[in-house]
Amino acid sequence: MSGPKWQATAELFREFQALGRASLLYDAQDSHSGNMALRRTNERGEDEIVITATGSQKGDLEPSQICFLSAQETDYGYYKASSETDIHARILALPGVRASMHAHLKDLILATLDDAPKPSQPPDFVPVDPLARHILGAAIPVDWFAVPSGSPELARVIPERLADHPLTIIFGHGAMAKGRSLREAFFRLCVGNYAGAVVRGMEKLGVDIEAVRRTIAANPARAFAGPPPVYEVEGDDRSDFRDEEEILREFVKAGHRIFESRLSPFHTGSMSVRGVTTMLYAPKASMPRDVGGPLLSVPLAAGPADDAETSLHKAIYAASDFQSVMHCHIPEAEASAYFVYPDEQAPADRIIPIDAEGSFLYLVIPVLPPQVTAAELIRSLHEYKVAVVRGGGVWAVGAQSLSEVLHHPSSVREICFYRMGAVERGLDLRRMEPPKAKRW
């Protein structure tokens, strides 16, 4: 292969570097783990694979750590390329696949560990949250390998799994995802880890996870709210209000905080601000630094082309005087929505803060059923400003800015975190909850 092989274009390098930093911030990698690859046509019209170098720090990539390899033939001379290059090359040869990514998804791996004798074939991982169910499928394959990195068996099995699934799990090691872009592959990895975090949260709360899975399997449509928007690989650079510097900064800051505070996985959730006749809208609210997502100005009036997410934002504004709306997928809140008190049979319809700040801000946080109507959700938002929809995420509203509305999902995560920790320690939540919350 002729020409320069180690010189990344500025745009390509920025994409690798930004997603590498994001994966480290999301705790999907350790300092040197994982790898990213994409297939592209280079400036000379040649098909090539671009992949991170073995042992590179994904959070601090240098241009020399991006390797360019032939997509048609194995180039054994380029020893710097990832030890899993063969696996990536086979994944990138799948129809419609242009990118692949490997990450150490700690929550997902912990949720799929077992102590059964090996070798064995672990069971598929069955997600119980709406994101993974709609985006990754009803079951995610898990495979055990004697050599879980760079082995011939791995190079054979993983591409076979990804031919039929968006993401696959390597037992005790990590996960690999395919995508039409690096961002879509990272999106799927983050959704996978979110799924693991929800299950781990349920374990801490003593939720009967298998019973939840049986309920979902019996009627998936009733177990979850509507599906999230289809992931778009184009348009992330679109900004319809680039000249409105103050509100633009608010959207960018809120997007960074949603991602970095684990309030919603990468490019999930949504947020908006009301205008006179338009709505400023971010359909991929969770946006790491240097990655971003589309920032749209859309008519405030409902339109026939609106997806369910956009429609709900508009419905909230039509029935209220709220000025900002935010929707997040918080793993601690999704798990808490299934919590059953020891003396009860059904999940609680409220989350009661036990920490000082949470109790000061909220008497209770309502938990609504998956099939809640827009009118019922709006009624709860009028009364409480924030609500958890079981199987549907956290919705919050503000009377003024995005900063105001951001405070609600951020507080909900902490409230649920403390409750989960108390149950994990064997403490009695009933004794810790303020007496006035019982009169709600």
Domain boundaries, the chain: 10-220, 245-439
DSSP β-ladder status, 167-170 and 142-143: parallel
3-state secondary structure of 311: helix
21 neighbors 287 (Cβ within 8 angstroms): no
The phi-psi region of residue 206 (left if phi > 0; otherwise alpha if psi is between -120 and 50; otherwise beta) is left
pLDDT at residue 9 in the model? 82
- Residue 370: CB atoms within 10 A of its CB come to 16
Q: In 3-state terms, what secondary structure has residue 156?
A: helix
Q: What is the CATH number of domain 10-220?
A: 3.40.225.10
Q: Which of 15-29, 76-90, 136-150, 420-434 has the lowest average pLDDT?
A: 76-90
The CA distance from 342 to 167, in Å, is 36
Q: How many Å apart are CA 174 and CA 381, to the nearest integer? A: 39
pLDDT given for residue 17 in this prediction: 95
Fold matches, 10-220 and 245-439:
yes
What pLDDT does 80 receive? 61
pLDDT digits (tens, 9 = 90+) for 199-208: 999 999 999 9
Q: What value does the mean pLDDT take over residues 270-275?
A: 97
**In 113-208, alpha helices (H):** 130-135, 152-162, 182-205
pLDDT 10s digits, 375-408: 999 999 999 999 999 999 999 999 999 999 999 9
* CA neighbor of 367 nearest in space, from 342, 345, 384: 384
Locus of tokens 């205008």: 275
Which pLDDT band holds residue 76 (cuts at 50, 70, 90)? very low
Burial class (CB in 10 A: 0-12, 13-18, 19+), 346: exposed
Q: Which CATH class is domain 245-439?
A: alpha beta
Write out pLDDT tens, residues 124-169.
999 999 999 999 999 999 999 998 887 889 999 999 999 999 999 9
In the predicted structure, residue 6 carries a pLDDT above the cut 50: no
What pLDDT is attached to residue 1? 34
Averaged pLDDT score across all residues of the chain: 93
Is residue 5 over pLDDT 50?
A: no
Most confident range (mean pLDDT) of 58-67, 74-83, 291-300 is 291-300
Q: What is the pLDDT of residue 82?
A: 59
